Structure 1
Amino acid sequence: MTDKQKIRRLAGWTIIVAFAVMALKFVAWWLTGSVALYSDALESIVNVIAAFAAFWAITVSHKPADHDHQYGHHKAEYFSAVLEGVLIVVAALLIMAEVWRSWQNPAPLDEPGLGLAINASAAAINGFWAWLLIRNGRAHRSPALEADGHHIMTDVVTSVGVIAGLIGAVLTGWYFLDPLLALIVALNILWQGWKVIRTSLDGLMDRAVPMEETVRIRDIISTNSKGAMEVHDLKTRIAGRATFIEFHMVVDAGMTVGESHAICDRIEAALQQEIPSMRVTIHVEPHEEAKLPPGTTAVPFA
């Protein structure tokens, strides 16, 4: 199974899992009448919508480049992640409205044991699936899959906190803990939503690769650059699964086009082997005409 098929299959199964978990959480809320469990169930609606959005984005991002999108469709996954962040914030605001209503009229819970057991089962399913999505999202450079996994993991942490707090409320009779827990859930969801949006906007703004990967790219170029004199103006950007690399390579003015092209091919092949999602552009310059951008320093090859 290819990476593309595996990612799309996981995204498809995420929709089914999201529906199942949502159903369990609404049953738990219906049995207990707990506003905290209601807030947990409400977030599951966001999970379902986000799962559909991620599936769409992953499908689009894997489409090959075409006449209108000559660099591919990699950034489609960031739109899904931004949408998910916005939906998380909306869910938090809806929970806060319910918290205000419940705070004024706290009431004992109905069937707390069964309701909490069902909610705990839903949290266990979510925990396993979130771990699977995060692991595969990182492995296959899929922002949408990883963002969905982090969102679901937030849901798991929320569920565990809600369950623990409601057990305390049942044992002590302090039923004001129910809306208080829901408020904590809402604030946590707001924070997680902001983090998802911020990370996705970084991707849309062509964020460079991390410093350790930049050093790795430089080392690969240096190791495979025999025949060139120096490199400068190295730039990188990340777009979904793809990493775009470009730099200027200075060669002797007397070198033939074929010789300089052979060096470029060697560097590209080495980068492709280490970073399969790489797209590289090399601007070859004769040493007599090489100009460094202001504020940069040429790095000679060993």
Structure 2
Amino acid sequence: MSRQMRLVTLSLVTGIVLMLIKFIAYFITGSNAIFSDAAESIVNVVASGFAYYSIYLASQPKDENHPYGHGKVEFFSVFVEGGMIFIAGSVILIKSIYNIFFPEPIENVEEGMYLILVTSLVNLGVGFYLMKRGRSLRSLTIEADGKHLQVDAISSFGLIVGLLIMKFAKLPWVDIALSICLGKFILYSGYKLLRKSISGLMDESDQEAIEEVVTELNKHRKADWIDVHNLRVQRYGQEMHIDCHLTLPNYYDLNQVHDRISEFDEILNNQLESKSEFFIHADPCMPECCHYCQVKNCPIRSEEFKQLIEWNSSNITKNMKHFRKS
């Protein structure tokens, strides 16, 4: 079993156990706020189950029908999880508004709080661990699952504070008010996950991945890498897909061009934490490149080297060579 599968299995088992505990707390108290917390736990379990399948699918090798691999399913997994969180928040708000007009008696508040405290501590610990491991493994699904558990833990802590106020201040309306606040918080959390998944499904530029690539390019650049531009980076699961134009001396023959592109590919793949697939378009240099070209003893140089242009996320992503002198 892969590391990702073990992590999502941990999330799934934890979610099932904590969901049962929260519903026990709801049945012994009748608290609307505790019901809100328990309802979100159903989402945790279903989302973790879908995450389990998406991790399995994302790990499958490329095939004829999926030449770019299966990593993009992680964005769909996060979309499902975000959508279910959003639906859970809506259900919680509807039930809260209903109970404003038709209140239900609340009992055994103290026992319910102890149970919720246990679930919140477990969720916080497991969520932190999943987020840390998700970032290190470059798994959007694991990271989203961990974030979801942390959101659940924070909302549970808020629930406990509200129940304490209700118990000692003798204010029964606090239960409904707290439930409404939790519902809004859960809705917003679902919205953020939906936004992130839609960005990935629409191939929105991954700024973090671009910065990572640009850093390594500047660190390991060679003299005959005269110019890199039109850089585009997308992360699908644990793989990155990188397109760019690489300007090389125009007197290189085809074998030299091939060797330099292979070197470019190998250097970045050795340095980047994610496995990368490159599509590199080779451009010939032009006289306008000479003022920032570092190639020594160039037989066709028309202008002396004047300055090194440091690549950054702004100039390297444009579809043009760096002709303009500063």
Q: C-alpha separation between the residues in 2 aligned to 1:196 and 1:15?
A: 19
- Partner residue in 1 for 2:283: 285
* Alpha-carbon displacement from aligned partner over 1:102-140 (angstroms, at most 9, x marks no partner): 222445521111111011101111111110111111111
- Cα deviation digits, residues 74-127 of structure 1 (max 9, x gap): 110110100111111111121122112322244552111111101110111111
Once residues 257 and 91 of structure 2 are traced to their aligned partners in structure 1, the CA distance between those partners, rounded to angstroms, is: 61
Contact 1:84-1:196 within 8 A present in 2 as well: yes
What's 2:302 paired with?
none
Q: Does 1:32 align with 2:29?
A: yes
2:203 is aligned with 1:175: no
Alpha-carbon distance change, 298 to 215 in structure 1, aligned in 2, over 3 angstroms: farther
SS in 2 for 1:278: strand
Q: Percent identity?
A: 27
Output aligned runs, 1:160-199, within 5 Å: 160-199=157-196
> TM-score by structure 1 length?
0.91
Q: Is the 8 A contact 2:231 2:318 kept in 1?
A: no
Mapped contact 1:35–1:178 kept (Cα < 8 A)? yes
- 1:100 alignment counterpart: 97
**Cα distance in 2, alignment partners of residues 240 and 53 from structure 1:** 15
Determine if contact 2:82/2:193 at 8 Å carries over to the other structure: yes
- Say if 2:19 is the partner of 1:22: yes
User: Cα gap change, 1:174/1:228 in structure 2, threshold over 3 Å: closer, same or farther?
Assistant: closer
Q: Determine which of 10, 19, 24 is the counterpart of 1:13.
A: 10
> Which moves more between the two structures, 141-150 or 272-281?
272-281
CA distance in 2, matches of 1:115, 1:43: 16
Conserved? CA contact 1:203–1:240, under 8 Å = no
User: How many Å apart are 1:212 and its aligned residue?
Assistant: 8.0
Q: 1:229 to 1:115 in 2, by over 3 A?
A: closer
The residue number in structure 2 matching 1:200 is: 197
Q: Distance in 2 between matches of 1:112 and 1:234?
A: 58
Letter in 2 for 1:124: L
> How do residues 69-148 of structure 1 correspond to structure 2 at under 5 angstroms?
69-148=66-145
CA RMSD of aligned residues (A): 2.5
Describe how 1:208-247 pairs up with structure 2 within 5 A.
208-210=205-207, 213-214=210-211, 216-217=213-214, 219-220=216-217, 223-247=220-244
Distance 2:127 2:208 in 1: 28
Deviations 1:234-256 (A, max 9, x none): 22222232221111122233312
TM-score where L is the length of structure 2: 0.84
8 Å contact from structure 1 (residues 35, 182) kept in 2: yes
Take 1:169 and 1:187, find their aligned partners in 2: how far apart are those partners?
20
Alpha carbons of 1:109 and 1:74: their partners in 2 closer, same or farther (altered >3 Å)? same
* Distance change in 2, residues 1:172/1:105 (3 Å): farther
Aligned CA distance change for structure 1 residues 235 and 176 (closer, same or farther; 3 Å): same
Instruction: Answer with 1 or 2: which has the greater Rg.
Output: 2
User: 1:249 maps to which residue?
Assistant: 246
After TM superposition, the structure 1 stretch with the greater mean CA deviation from structure 2, 236-245 or 77-86, is: 236-245
Task: Provide the rounded CA distance (Å) in 2 between the counterparts of 1:223 and 1:299.
Answer: 22
Is the Cα–Cα contact under 8 Å of residues 250 and 286 in structure 1 kept in the other structure? yes
The answer (yes or no) to whether the contact 2:234–2:241 under 8 Å persists in 1 is: yes
Q: Which runs of 5 or more structure 1 residues have no equivalent in the other structure? A: none
SS of alignment partner, residue 152 of structure 1: helix
Return the letter of the residue paired with 1:200: S
Does structure 2 retain, via aligned residues, the 8 Å contact 1:89–1:189?
yes
Corresponding pairs, count:
297
What is the CA–CA distance in structure 2 between the aligned matches of 1:236 and 1:98, rounded to whole Å?
Answer: 44
Letter in 2 for 1:298: H
Query: How far does residue 206 in structure 1 lie from its aligned partner after superposition?
Result: 1.6
8 A contact 1:107–1:175 mirrored in 2: no
Structure 2, unaligned runs of 5 or more: 289-316
The alpha carbon displacement at 1:169 in A equals: 0.3
